[in-house]
Every structure is written in structure tokens, then in C-alpha cells.
Amino acid sequence: MSADEVRRSKADELSVVRQPLARRDQEEKIAGTTRYAGDMVSPAMLRAALVRSPVPCARVTRRDAAEALKVPGVVEILFGEDVPHNAVWVDVPGQMIEVAPLKANMEILATDQVRFQGEPVALVIAETEEALVEACELVEVDYQDALGVFDPDEALADGAPPVHPQGNLLAQWHIDSGDVDAAFDGADLVVEGTYQTQPVDHAYLEPEAGVGWLDDDGVLTLRVSTQVVAHYRDVARILGVPEARVRVIAPYVGGGFGGKEDMTVEPYIALAVWRTRRMVRMEWTRQESLQARAKRHPMRMRYRTAARSDGTIVGQDIDITADSGAYAYLSALVLLYSAVHACGPYRVDNVRLRARCAYTNNPPTSAFRGFGGMQVVLGYESQIDQVARQLGLSGAEVRKRNSLVKGDVLPVGQPIETEVLLGQTIDAVCEAAGQPPVPSGPRRAAGRAIASNMQSYGRLVWLNDSAAAWVGYEPDGSVRLRCGVQDVGGGQASSLAQITAELLAVPMDRIAVHFGDSALNPEAGTTTATRQLLMSGNAVHDATVQLRDRILAAVAAETGELPQSLRLQDDHVVGPSVRLPVTEALAVCRRRNVPTEGLSTFFGPKGITVTTQLRAARVFPDFTFGTHLCDLEVDLDTGQVFLLKYIAAHDVGRAINPLSVQGQITGAVAQGLGMALLEEVVLEDGSNLTAGLFQYLLPTATDIPDIEVIVLESGEGLGPFGARGIGEPPIGPPLAAVAGAIRDAVGVRPTVLPITPERVLACVQQAPVTLHGQ
């Protein structure tokens, strides 16, 4: 059997995987003993904080720390000139040189220009929090305001003030497949729509924090809240030290959602440790997190969709503009995700897509759960609904008619290589929902809608992704698992243990997972892009199989049994005439010079880098499909929306831990509902008006209904046991399900997020006269 076949076991052969096991990390979190990055705190540590620009666009004409340095307890104040290499570089792939540089940079500490409100200008290091706060206020920076630009379309217009010297167009992507003009000419129906999403904050409960120190052998060590321990390499470049002399430890993270994919506190703690040679702690306030850390891209999406009278979609003509904010970060890739996902889980033969993202003087935008693949759900699902309504067909019917099936090819050129259960997810939510809602009173209207989506799991194939894991027995038969995975709360570490528990038949409580350490663990890569189960899951699977097979082979050689007749069961090696405790099998291994450990690296699917004109045999490893259903009621006088019922169905391939799968889905739905109805980073000429949780509206327990989760298991995914990734996929459909249900209730479709009561009322005003006040 190939490794791929070995990994895809049948569901009924599994005894630990697929069990809804209460996670061990939960137990300590609930006991209150988990030590998060910010929980290492002592008076002996130095404190560090940033002085940030209060203005969004200015030349910096003077920086002076003399007064601040007089504050008792201040140790050092650093400006950009004090940073050995004052830049972080990011790849901007696939762009022609005249459009944008292939690499873009931003300063660690801005020197002569600031481009967004909250950009760091100085780093203050002090003995106490009090000295720190006082000194930050006394650092003198003179700003000479310059003309900024705050809208991506304006930024791309002739004569716009350039945010960067090379112009404001950061990246663009095109898709041209089939004959779009002929498809539209021959269509029975063309529907158009323009949709607008807003900037959104990750708002994880744990603000950015960490501690750093110089460890033995001069290794600069950072213990920080991050999704990416591999940023130790960026830190090494900034300091000009060998990568091997920097180590990043990620303890359990208090939520990431993409917001801890780029560096946050890392370079600053590292600089402070490097300069002072002491232990330094930094914790961003919620206000600076909301003000200055990268947001979700707001997108303006114009869709024209051509259909036949039977509901078949024959063409899509799509134009997307995204706001990248002041620096590149991951914008080019986020926009690429938008482009590839823009037609949704449907077969469309004729597609024209133009997508661009522009620099502005707004806060930067970057990774956020869904990563550009989720904003477009509002576009393509609203269009599908419109097609269905105008043709008098059901939304479910039109979706199923157009659903991708295994063997179809995406507009970008990538074939779908695994079974697609989209139709089953549609049937599942519709059957579970029962009768449509009825209004509870005379000035209420009720509505229902479904929304389907697809979302990739695993990183872009040309990034040559890999993950490694080590699994080893202790002599007492307990097991250690070493894997550099960052556990951001999704049960990443626990799921890996569950895979090993399955394969070695070892109880979960006899497995220790050592995770989140760039120095002591095999490199697992980032906890982003819904990739950890696919990548580290397969690596742990393969390392465990290697270990298991070594033990069985050693026992076979010792006893004369055939290796394939032996198996591990209840902490024993068991065969036709053998029942040997694992502890004795391990002793056999030691006598026979057989290692009692396994180490494996899993390499993701490969592909070549795309160019601006997107045409690729493969962009992503694979996709996860799902459908949501939303019932809601609208108060026609106030515009308030009451969510009545929410059902989410996804094919997760194989549910390694059904509780964790369910948690990922309900959490993503809640975050999607927050974006649909409440959340918005409000910017006024680059000034953030929502830099506090009083202003930035997060969904509370009274806003989110009980969410019913339906898990389908095709066993077709590329992860261990046929699992697909599920971290990001459920966040997109709520946008369109809510918008569609409001359309169903009041007769007019909201197209701008968030769908505030004011916007609902605007829909009611435009609606048929029966809805207006009496």
C-alpha cells in the first residue's frame, strides 16, 4: 500500500480517532493553571512598550528621547536607527516588476515617514510599568502631516498620493477561462450585484504578549503568543545573528484567527533583550491591538452572473478591489485566495476575473480566518440566490445543479481530486431545519436562507510546505510526541495525540505532546491556512506508523512470527501465539539495536508559482465544502435582527475528534455572524474610531443562537484517516446566509456589511409597501 492508502483507514476500523474525547488541554485551562505567554510576570523583568504614531500619514521631522530618559526607571529608548536591520521583507509573488516589487518591506520602527495611525516609532524599556507609561508620553516626535489616501479606488486613481514610492497598486490577479462574452450573450438570465465587506478585527481574547531572555549558549529565547514560531528567522535577520541563535516558544495561545500569523511583539521583545541582556516582557493593550494590528481586508466585489433558464451558471464576470492598508503583509496572497475561490463550489466554464489590492493610509490588512476566500462567499452566494429567485427555482436546487464534482476543473485550472459532498450538506441542513419560520408578531418578518461554500485547506502548493514530527516510547510504555505545532485553541496538540493513540493503542493520558518550540521540536510549520491537521497530522501519523512497525518487526524477529500478523493492542504486542507487554517489546528493541522512536517529514502537494494571469494545474492541496442554513426574524420598526436557528453542515473527511470539529464550526459561525451583523473597524481618514471594546461590537452570548452542527465524513480528505481541514471553512457562509435570510424576510437584499439595524431598515424602506409602517 502507498502511504496515502495507509493513511485512509475505514471509519469502522478506528477506535480512538472519531471519539469525542474531552481534551486534556481543556482540563488545565478550566483549572486556571495554563501559563499563557502573558502569564510569565515578575518584578525582575524589564517592561517594554511602543510609542506609536497618532496620525495616519506624516513625515517624521524630529525624534527626541532626552526628556523620557530622565524618568527614573527608564533603561533604554530605541529608534529605527538602533535596529540592526530595520526591515521585515515579505514576498509579493507573481507580480510583474512594473506593477510592484517582488518583495515589500516595512520598518520595525518608522524613521522618516509614518503610513498608518499606530505605526511604531520608538521602543521604550523600563524597570516598571509606571515608568514605562510615563516615558512613552515624554518621547517627543514631530509629525509633519502629509496628504494621505484612505480608499483603495481613490488610491488607484491618477494623481493619488503615493503611499509607497513605487505606487499604490500592490498586487493584481486575472482569470480568463472559456469565452465569457459568448456565454453572457447566449445566457437566458444575467444578474448583477455589488457587495461590500468591512475591515474586521480578530479580537482574540488574549492580546499580543510575551517574554524574552538570553538563554544558555547565548540563545535569544522568546516565549510569545504566536501562530508561527518560525518567525525566529525574521528575528535573527533583524538582529543580524545566526538563525540557530534564536528560539521561539509558543505556549497555548489565547486565540489567533490569523492575527498572530504575522509578527506582533516578537521583534520588539527581541530588540529589548538584545540591548539590555535582561529578561523583558511586553504586553499590548487591547486598545493598541485594536488600533494598530492588521485587520481583515475590506473588499468591494462586483459580480455579473450568466445563467440558463434551468439554473445552470454559464458565466461569471467578477471584479474585486481590496484595501491593503499601509503595508503589504500578506495582502497579495489574501487576494489570490479571493480570486481562486470567487466562483464558489460551482462549475463555471466561462470566467473573467479582475482583482487588485491597493495601498492606503488605513491600518494594514493581512491574514484572518478565511483569508480572502470568505469575503467572496457573500458575492457568489448572493448571486446564486438571485439567479434562483429570478428563475423561480429553489436555492437548494440551483446549488446542487451547479455543484462541483470530483473531476471538474476550477476556473484557475486546478482539478477537483476528491469527492464533493456539497449536495449532501445542502440536503442535511434543509432536512434538519423543518418548517420555515413564521413571524412572531404583526411588525415582524421572518426569513430563511442557505449558503454553501468551499475553502481550501493547506498552503499554496508552490510554498513547498512540509511538517515533521517525532514519536517515541519511554521504557515504561508511555509515549512522547514532539511536534513544533502551535496550539491556538483548536485542539491542535490534542488531535495529534489522538492519532498516535489510535495507531499505538496507547491511552491518551499516557501520551505527552511537546509542542510550540522552534528549538526542541521538529519543525511543524505555521498554525495557519487550515494546514496543521493535514500537514502535522500526516507527519505524526507517518512517524507513529514508522515507530509501530519497528516494534512489531523486532518482536517478529524475536519470536519468529510474521510482522504482519502482529499488532498493538492494550499496551501489548499481540499475535497468533504472542502476547508481549509493550515494556518487554521495548526491551527486545534495545537488545536488537532497534530505535524506539519514529521521525517523519510530510511534504505537501507541489506546484509551480503562479503569475498575474492565473492558470495553474494546482494552487491548493484540496478544499472543504459545506452548507449553512439561517432562520431569522426582523423587527420592521427598529431593523433589529433576531437569529432563530442556525445549522451548519460540512464534510470534514474524517472527524479526528468530533468535539474539536464541532468547536471549530460553532466558533467560526459565531465569528462569521459577528462580521455579518455587528463588527466593523470604523475608520475616518485613517483614524480608528473603534479602538476599544466599548466601540468595537463583538457578538455576545445573547447575539448567537444555539448552532446545530452536522458533520459528514467522506473519508476523502488528504489528511490522516481521510480528514479535511475545518478551521477556516465555516466562517464564510454566515455572511451570505444572514443576508439571504434578510432578503427572504423583507424582500430586499442587504449588500453591505455589517448589516446593521440602519441598513436593515433601509432594505425595509425599499421593500414592497406591505412592510412599511401602518
Partner 1 sequence: MSRPLTVTITVNGHRLTRSADGHLSLLRWLREVANVTDPKYGCGEGVCGACTVLMDGQEISSCIVLAAQADGCEVTTAAGLCESDGSLGPLQQAFHQHHAAQCGFCTPGMLMCAVAMLADGRAGSRAGIREALHANICRCTGYGPIVSAIESARDAAEVAEPGVAEPETAEP
Residue ranges that bind partner 1, judged by CB under 8 A: 20, 22-23, 25-27, 29-36, 38-39, 41-43, 129-130, 202-207, 252-255, 257, 283, 285-287, 488-491, 659-660, 662-663, 666-667, 669-671, 692-694, 698, 700-702, 704, 706-707
Q: How far is the CB of 538 from partner 1 (least distance, A)?
A: 23
Angle at 477 between CA 475 and CA 479, to 5 degrees: 100
- Rounded CA separation 59/113 (Å): 4
Nearest to 697 by CA among 648, 753, 765: 753
- Rounded CA separation 549/476 (Å): 19
Q: How far is the CB of 753 from partner 1 (least distance, A)?
A: 18
- Please name the residue ranges forming H helices in 280-330: 286-292
- Rounded CA separation 192/419 (Å): 31
For residue 572, the cross-strand partners are 569, 581
Q: How far is the CB of 133 from partner 1 (least distance, A)?
A: 10
Q: Are strands 683-684 and 140-145 parallel, antiparallel or unpaired?
A: unpaired
Nearer to partner 1, 203 or 454 (CB): 203
Output the DSSP codes for 147-214.
----SHHHHHSTTPPPSSTT-SEEEEEEEEES-HHHHHHT-SEEEEEEEE--------SS-SEEEEEE
Nearer to partner 1, 71 or 610 (CB): 71
Q: Cell digits for 197?
A: 465587506
Nearer to partner 1, 522 or 674 (CB): 674
Q: Are strands 113-114 and 58-64 parallel, antiparallel or unpaired?
A: antiparallel
Q: How far is the CB of 698 from partner 1 (least distance, A)?
A: 5
- Rounded CA separation 221/217 (Å): 11
Q: How far is the CB of 288 from partner 1 (least distance, A)?
A: 11
- Rounded CA separation 30/39 (Å): 15
- Rounded CA separation 37/267 (Å): 15
Please report the sign of the dihedral spanned by the C-alpha atoms of residue 342, residue 343, residue 345, residue 348: negative
Nearer to partner 1, 26 or 105 (CB): 26
Q: How far is the CB of 199 from partner 1 (least distance, A)?
A: 17
Q: How far is the CB of 196 from partner 1 (least distance, A)?
A: 24
Q: How far is the CB of 774 from partner 1 (least distance, A)?
A: 30
Q: How far is the CB of 290 from partner 1 (least distance, A)?
A: 9
Grid-cell match 502548493, residue found: 461
Nearest to 625 by CA among 413, 416, 465: 416
Q: Is 354 helix (H, G, I), strand (E, B) or coil?
A: strand
* Preceding amide of 754 cis, omega within 30: yes
Q: Cell digits for 504?
A: 499505538
Nearer to partner 1, 547 or 707 (CB): 707
Nearer to partner 1, 39 or 417 (CB): 39
Q: How far is the CB of 4 from partner 1 (least distance, A)?
A: 30
Q: How far is the CB of 285 from partner 1 (least distance, A)?
A: 6
Nearer to partner 1, 44 or 97 (CB): 44
Nearer to partner 1, 278 or 308 (CB): 278
Cβ neighbors of 530 (< 8 A, separation 6 or more) are 455, 456, 457, 458, 624, 725, 726, 727, 728, 729
Nearer to partner 1, 84 or 692 (CB): 692
Nearer to partner 1, 130 or 215 (CB): 130
Q: Is 330 helix (H, G, I), strand (E, B) or coil?
A: coil
Q: Is 17 left (phi over 0), alpha (psi -120 to 50) or beta?
A: beta
User: Could you give the count of Cα atoms lying within 13 Å of 302 in the half-sphere of its Cβ?
Assistant: 8
106 and 94 in contact (C-beta within 8 Å)? no
Nearer to partner 1, 608 or 693 (CB): 693
Spell out a b/e string for 163-196, using b for 16 or more CB atoms within 10 Å of the CB, else e.
Answer: bbeebbbbbbbebebbebeebbeebebbbebebb
Please report the sign of the dihedral spanned by the C-alpha atoms of residue 509, residue 514, residue 516, residue 521: negative
Nearer to partner 1, 23 or 247 (CB): 23
Q: How far is the CB of 368 from partner 1 (least distance, A)?
A: 12
Nearer to partner 1, 20 or 768 (CB): 20
530 and 624 in contact (C-beta within 8 Å)? yes
Q: How far is the CB of 36 from partner 1 (least distance, A)?
A: 7
Cβ neighbors of 475 (< 8 A, separation 6 or more) are 583, 586, 587
Cβ neighbors of 182 (< 8 A, separation 6 or more) are 350
Q: How far is the CB of 712 from partner 1 (least distance, A)?
A: 19
What is the SS3 assignment for 76-117? EEECHHHCCCCCEEEECCCCCCCCCCCEEEECCCCCCEECCC
Nearer to partner 1, 653 or 667 (CB): 667
Nearer to partner 1, 250 or 763 (CB): 250
Nearer to partner 1, 72 or 84 (CB): 72
Nearer to partner 1, 38 or 315 (CB): 38
41 and 209 in contact (C-beta within 8 Å)? no
Nearer to partner 1, 264 or 418 (CB): 264
What is the SS3 assignment for 624-690? EEEEEEEEEEEECCCCCEEEEEEEEEEECCCCCCHHHHHHHHHHHHHHHHHHHHCCCCCEECCEECC
348 and 179 in contact (C-beta within 8 Å)? no
- Rounded CA separation 346/675 (Å): 24
